[in-house]
Amino acid sequence: MPGRQPFAAAVTGLGLVTAAGTGVKATWHAVAGGGRPEGVRRHPELAELPCDFMYTAAGLDPAAELGAAAARLMDRFSQLAVLAAREAVADAGLDPAAWDGSRVAVVIGSAHGGLPFYDEQHAVLAERGPRRVSPKLAPLTVVNGAASSVCGDLGALGPSLAVSTACSSGTVALGTAHQLLRSGACDLVVAGGAESVLSRLLIASACRLKAVSTRREDPATACRPFDAGRDGFVVGEGAGLLVLERPEHARARGATPRAVIRGYGASSDAASIVAPDPEGAGIERALRAALADAQVAGAEVDHVNAHGTSTVLNDLIEGRALVRVLGERPLVTSTKAVTGHTLGAAGGIETALTVLALEEQTVPPTVNLTTPDPQLPAGLDLVRGAARRARLRCAVKTSLGFGGHNAALVLTRD
């Protein structure tokens, strides 16, 4: 809204569950290390599809962490959200037993909710009849399942919201949390995204759409953002949640912010249901809106964690828009070759990684980027090969989603 006062939401806690590792430390180590991705695996559920692989958190047993009874009341995307939320809250130094739950909100984005359970129950219906279908199908698979589960686990009694704007869901959830805090509706928000879509139906559709990579000979190199040889994204599962607080609330309890979110912008392409605006006008509007909200000039941005999906259209359109708005100064990376494209969770995971980049003064490399697309602007400074140390004061996270949903966040160290 033009003329309104800027607002800085304090980021006091991070929580991550990804194919790169369980927990913030493990994920950052893999992302910043820039080595060969280890989280991408072939799956028998996807056998005979052109893309038979995706990024999954192998070895993670949510039931062991949550308890078998609690885990049975959640789909996997909700389980991942609860695990990430617990880490974020602990990282923030908060005790849910001691807080005023009525002042705590939860906002979690997801593109597909509990889609694999739909697949499973459809098979049950077809093979065993309607009397064998689970009565838990609706409550476990709805997109708000993650937010509901996190509220129940933490005792959060304030606003509980589910955001579903395709692959920008996590970023929009964080922007919504920023606005909730600014409005005074709450003092603290647990926000981000969660997704788990090991679904033969979804991947088969994505193959028909030619959205996913079919580089079956070496899945670890299939996701290659901004590379001339890219041929599509690789789906991943994960959750990334952050604790955001009103600055006075964080100060009153002696918390030191890990970073602050200063601005948020969103827009719609109002065009294709799948392809981004070919001129990048939509993401440009969202980015300019976020900068205006933060009262930050494009020339002040040091780093961009780009959406960078490894699709031909997205990377080219996004790269051009970044240079138009921010110039040639920012160090740009995409971390999806290490985590996979986690769809609605991507914005949450990648915003947490952006906070870590600001803290560590280190930009992770764009893994698998060997030959930048020659159609990209020459001034787009893509970090590749190895992480790059730099003086980072201000960073941007961008996201684009099917249906033309664009979002951007502006973060600073303090």
Which of 51, 151, 167, 186 is flagged as catalytic? 167
Under a CB-based contact definition with an 8 Å cutoff, are residues 25 and 17 in contact? no
Which of 186, 341, 394, 405 is flagged as catalytic? 341
Under a CB-based contact definition with an 8 Å cutoff, are residues 169 and 402 in contact? no
Q: Which of 376, 358, 220, 224 is nearest to 302 (CA)?
A: 358
Q: What is the DSSP letter of 305?
A: E
43 is catalytic: no
Question: What's the number of CA atoms in the CB half-sphere (13 Å) around residue 7?
Answer: 19
Q: Radius of gyration of the chain from Cα atoms?
A: 20
- Tokens coding 80: 């991942």
With residues binned 3-state (H G I as helix, E B as strand, rest as coil), the percentages for the chain, rounded to 5, are 40, 20, 40
Under a CB-based contact definition with an 8 Å cutoff, are residues 381 and 331 in contact? yes
CA dihedral (190, 193, 360, 6) positive or negative: negative
307 is catalytic: yes
Task: Give the separation between CA 384 and CA 376, rounded to whole angstroms.
Answer: 15
The residue written with tokens 């028998």 in the block is 44
3-state SS class at 251: helix
Under a CB-based contact definition with an 8 Å cutoff, are residues 366 and 189 in contact? no
167 is catalytic: yes
Task: Give the separation between CA 224 and CA 234, rounded to whole angstroms.
Answer: 9
Strand 331-333 vs strand 259-268: parallel, antiparallel, or unpaired? unpaired
Task: Give the separation between CA 40 and CA 185, rounded to whole angstroms.
Answer: 41
Other Cβ atoms within 10 Å of 382 Cβ, number: 23
Which of 303, 307, 394, 405 is flagged as catalytic? 307
Under a CB-based contact definition with an 8 Å cutoff, are residues 213 and 336 in contact? no
Task: Give the separation between CA 349 and CA 347, rounded to whole angstroms.
Answer: 6
Which residues are designated catalytic?
A: 167, 307, 341
